[in-house]
Amino acid sequence: MGNSGKLVPLSEDVLREILLRLPVKSLVRFSSVNNSWRKLLLSDKTFVYSHLKHATNNNVNRLTDVLICSDCYPDDLPSFLHTEVDLAHHNLGREDVVDKLKNTALRNPLHLRQDFLVVGCCNGIICLYRKGLFLWNPALHECRALATCADRWLPDLDFIVFGYDCRNQDYKVLKKHTELKQADLYSLNTNSWKSISCDGLSVENKPSRFTPPNSLEFNGRLHWISECVDGDALVRTLTSFHISEERFDEFPIPNSVPPIKPCGALGVFRGCISVLTRRENRQDYEVWWMKEYGVSKSWTRALVITREDRLKLGYPVGFSASGKIVVRWPSGACLYDPWVKG
């Protein structure tokens, strides 16, 4: 404020730096100020990428987000439950073995009563599949149908995954059908599909039927657990796809890792790719992690969630970035810290 008592308008650079530090909810609210703000906040790819990078590097608000399929609406439409916990105001103590999460119901944007597939969730964008592909932004209440892939929607789908190409600032969808020797890759930047080589994949690379359809994005790669038959043996691999370089790799999973059923949640636990699984005829859940990326022999058991813990806590469904286990309750979800004994 100057000597005249009038407000001095902020420069565009200063305003931009302020906006970069705000949470998404505030940006959505401020986008209605005027057309120029709306264009900057919602349509400027440079700003959107800068905001995402700043939020990732600085862990803005330190929120851990979880998306769970639910039936929280009375009209029986499949819907979602979004949960979050504010880690900035959380002090871990013995009474904090379980953190209750804030639950927000998200109505199914497709309004379909039939089953649909949640392909993946990345940077707040959710990819859905039901006789076609859709990108859903719950914050903006927008859902967009993607361009169709001509003659390639065949019934036997090996895999379909969704991720973000940070090098080219692009969202991509990858899918492959059993009958085809090539995979199909969609780019949001061009709104088009192209065929890519499957070099690096086994002849029979199929996602484990016991694992969730969602892939894991880690270090610029999409990952999922696959199975292939080698003689009479069932061989499991951790399949990866480098989103920017558009190439495949496979890392064998040793037999020491328990069968990936019935839960098989894949995630990042304390900085390592991990799987949440359970041995047959046992009530205990186990977390196994690949301590050295790409090294199959580095798979080790990190911890065990006993039957007693599970009965008190609920059903384990995944991992949080803070090194906790996401546990589902009938009314929502919570975070369980296995390193703290209550």
Distance, CA of 240 to CA of 224 (rounded, Å): 7
Report the chain (342 residues): mean pLDDT per 10 consecutive residues.
Answer: 63 82 80 79 78 69 45 39 38 37 53 66 82 81 82 65 91 82 90 89 60 72 82 82 94 84 72 83 83 94 81 73 73 71 56
What is the DSSP secondary-structure string of 29-66? HHTTS-HHHHIIIII-HHHHHHHHHHHHHHTGGGEEEE
What does the pLDDT read at residue 206?
61
Name the percent of the chain lying above pLDDT 70.
66
Domain boundaries, the chain: 11-58
What does the pLDDT read at residue 260?
66
Contact 196, 246 (CB under 8 A): yes
The token duo for 191 is 């709104």
What does the pLDDT read at residue 204?
61
The token duo for 334 is 């919570």
What does the pLDDT read at residue 106?
54
Read off the pTM: 0.75
What does the pLDDT read at residue 166?
87
Contact 110, 128 (CB under 8 A): yes
